[in-house]
């Protein structure tokens, strides 16, 4: 089975721009979660989608948004980029049926905001 894939792997943007990142989950997985990893804060939960609905949301500003499509693929969008948004953005998928399921991570998208 193919793993979680994320595109693009690297991105460079400037302040004020917006960016869209894409995630394809493992086949059969219906839950997709997004995390931000920075050196100072570690891995922080952004949001989780299941069956095209946002089921959970972390403590991030409204500039961070996401969506999920009927094939479970997900996108996250960051608008009005700030320098502090430079991070590794990780997507994880799981079957989505129960709490505590193992989440499987993609390789991440490295975003640099200049």
Partner 1 sequence: DQQVKQNSPSLSVQEGRISILNCDYTNSMFDYFLWYKKYPAEGPTFLISISSIKDKNEDGRFTVFLNKSAKHLSLHIVPSQPGDSAVYFCAASGSSNSGYALNFGKGTSLLVTP
The CB-of-42 to partner 1 minimum distance in angstroms stands at 4
The CB-of-70 to partner 1 minimum distance in angstroms stands at 20
Contact (Cβ atoms closer than 8 angstroms) between residue 111 and residue 11: yes
State how beta strands 42-50 and 31-38 pair: antiparallel
Identity of the residue, 62 or 100, whose beta carbon is nearer to partner 1 in the bound complex: 100
Which of 74, 106, 111, 113 binds partner 1 (CB under 8 A)? It is 106
* Per-residue DSSP letter, 113: E
x/- mask, partner 1, residues 27-66, rule CB under 8 A, reads ----x-x-x------xxxx--x-x----xxxx--------
Left (φ > 0), alpha (ψ -120 to 50) or beta: where does 10 sit?
beta
Largest CA distance in the chain: 40
The CB-of-63 to partner 1 minimum distance in angstroms stands at 19
Q: Which of 61, 32, 73 is nearest to 49 (CA)?
A: 32
Q: What does the binding site for partner 1 look like in residue numbers (CB under 8 A)?
A: 4, 31, 33, 35, 42-45, 48, 50, 55-58, 90, 92, 99-100, 102-108
């Amino acid at each position: 089975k193919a793993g979680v894939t994320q595109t693009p792997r690297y991105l460079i943007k400037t302040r004020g721009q917006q960016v869209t990142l894409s995630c394809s989950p493992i086949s059969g997985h219906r839950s997709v979660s997004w995390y931000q990893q920075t050196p100072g804060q570690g891995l922080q939960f952004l949001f989780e989608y299941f069956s095209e609905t946002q089921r959970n949301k972390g403590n991030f500003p409204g500039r961070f948004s996401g969506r999920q499509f009927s094939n479970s693929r997900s996108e996250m969008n960051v608008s009005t980029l700030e320098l502090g948004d430079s991070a590794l953005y990780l997507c994880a998928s799981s079957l989505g049926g129960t709490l505590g399921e193992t989440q499987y991570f993609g390789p991440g998208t490295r975003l640099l905001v200049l």
